Structures are given as C-alpha cells and as structure tokens.
Amino acid sequence: MLLRRAKWGIRARDGTSLGYPSLSHYSRSMFNDFSSPIRYFLTRRSTKPRDLVAPGPDSEQLRQILTAAMRTPDHGKLAPWRLVVVHEDQREKLAELLSAAYRAEKPDAGRLEIEAMVQFAHQAPAMVVVLSSPVQASKIPLWEQELSAGAVCMNLLHAATALGFGGGWLTGWPSYNDQVRDAFGEAHERIAGFLFLGTPSRPLDERPRPDYFEHVRDWDR
C-alpha cells in the first residue's frame, strides 16, 4: 500500500486515514487530549520532572496508577518487575544515597554535580522506582522480560495522566550505579526508570517527533 502525505493527516492512496501530522499543527493546550482514546495517544506528552509540583496523587490514586501499570504485556505471566514507592519523607535519604554513591564513583566530582544528585532526589511530589526483575530460570528470553518492565513504565505514565497528573520517566546515572541499584533491589535486577508524578507547573512544550515516513515502511520482499 503506497503512502502519501496529506495536509490534515497521513492517508493511503485509496484515501484511508492512517494518522495525524506532527503536533506542531495543534495548540499546546491539546496535549494529552482525552476527548477520545486515540486523540490521547496522538497528543500524549510527558512532563519534565523538574516542572512537577504539588498536588501529587494521594495514596488511593497512586494505588490505582500502580495497579494499572502492572496490567501490561508479560510473556509467560512472570511479572518480571518490581515497583518501589519513595515517599516524601524518604527523599532526603535518597539524596544522601545518590550523593554518596556519586562521590564514591567520581571522587573528583564538583559541587554542581552533587547538587544535581540532590535535585534529582527531590523532584516532583511522587516517585516510583521501577525495577526490571527477570526470572532467570524461565524459558522466556531476558529481552522479552526487560521489554515488559519498560511497558510497566509506560503504562504508569498513561495511568497518571488519566487521573489528571503529569509524569516523567528518567534514567540517567542513578539507574546504572550498582550502589543505587542495591538500595532498591537485588544484584540480578536493573533500574528501568525513576517515574516522577505531580501537577505540571507550566504549559507543556512539544519536542521533536519521529517522521512517519522515515520509520514506517511496507514489507515488500
């Protein structure tokens, strides 16, 4: 099926609509548009964690978010992931952990680098650490189990947005340090991401999006 560009969407040669153009055609107020399920997915936008402020989800809302996050593709029904909630009264301990681990790995770290670790720990009203926790004895390939953990992270953001919150998924240095990983999980586990939730403090900005025609093709062998 040949594809062509259209002013207000992507259509096949027969006129079948295949989607919508870049969000640069729309106003910023249309991010995370819940007027229909497909409109939400076509306008979905994360919030930068540093822009998330109170209120965040309460305990019941967070329970709903995490329950929804775990309704994810999971070959073999292994649930190869763990979710760790870092409460507000634990943020300073997390900041101390990140700072100490960073100094241990990088003894020459400057003040600004350490401050960045402290700021990382104190972002947003709510934080969830998602761990990839593969079942090593399973016949399900490791790669598929890790993909399931990534799907948990994405579902978590969708659920938070559905309840009216903003969310951001970060990795960075803290996700790849063994001392930090050991504080949340076991040696065979990996941090899939730090998920930050709260209320956006300013309007969302669009980011560059992949071009449909550069990443989608028909199989023609």
Query: What integer pLDDT is reported at residue 14 of this predicted model?
Result: 55
- Residue 156 is assigned to a ligand binding site: no
pLDDT tens sequence across 174-200: 999 999 999 999 999 999 999 999 999
Query: What integer pLDDT is reported at residue 30 of this predicted model?
Result: 85
Measure the CA–CA gap between 201 and 48, rounded to whole angstroms: 10
Residues 141 and 162 in one domain: yes
- Residue 82 is assigned to a ligand binding site: no
- Residue 71 is assigned to a ligand binding site: yes
Residues 56 and 132 in one domain: yes
Residues 51 and 65 in one domain: yes
Sign of CA dihedral 126, 129, 130, 133: negative
What is the span of the domain harbouring residue 25? Answer: 1-44+207-221
Residues 120 and 160 in one domain: yes
Q: What angle do CA 65, 166, 133 make, to 5 degrees?
A: 45
Residues 167 and 213 in one domain: no
* Structure tokens, 185: 């999980």
Q: Are 169 and 46 in contact (CB under 8 A)?
A: yes
Measure the CA–CA gap between 48 and 98, rounded to whole angstroms: 20
Residues 176 and 218 in one domain: no
Structurally, the chain folds into a number of domains equal to: 2
Q: Phi and psi (nearest 5°) for 182?
A: -65, -25
Query: What integer pLDDT is reported at residue 15 of this predicted model?
Result: 52
- Residue 143 is assigned to a ligand binding site: no
Low-confidence ranges of the chain (pLDDT < 50): 1-11, 20-27
Residues 153 and 79 in one domain: yes
* Structure tokens, 90: 């634990």
- Residue 39 is assigned to a ligand binding site: no
Partners of 162 in the beta sheet?
Answer: none
Query: What integer pLDDT is reported at residue 50 of this predicted model?
Result: 97
Query: What integer pLDDT is reported at residue 2 of this predicted model?
Result: 43
- Residue 5 is assigned to a ligand binding site: no
Length, in residues, of the chain: 221
Measure the CA–CA gap between 41 and 81, rounded to whole angstroms: 24
Q: Count CB neighbours of 52 within 10 A.
A: 23
Residues 81 and 70 in one domain: yes
Q: Are 40 and 113 in contact (CB under 8 A)?
A: no
Sequence-distant (6+) residues with CB within 8 A of 115 are none
Residues 59 and 10 in one domain: no
Residues 8 and 80 in one domain: no
Measure the CA–CA gap between 219 and 137, rounded to whole angstroms: 36
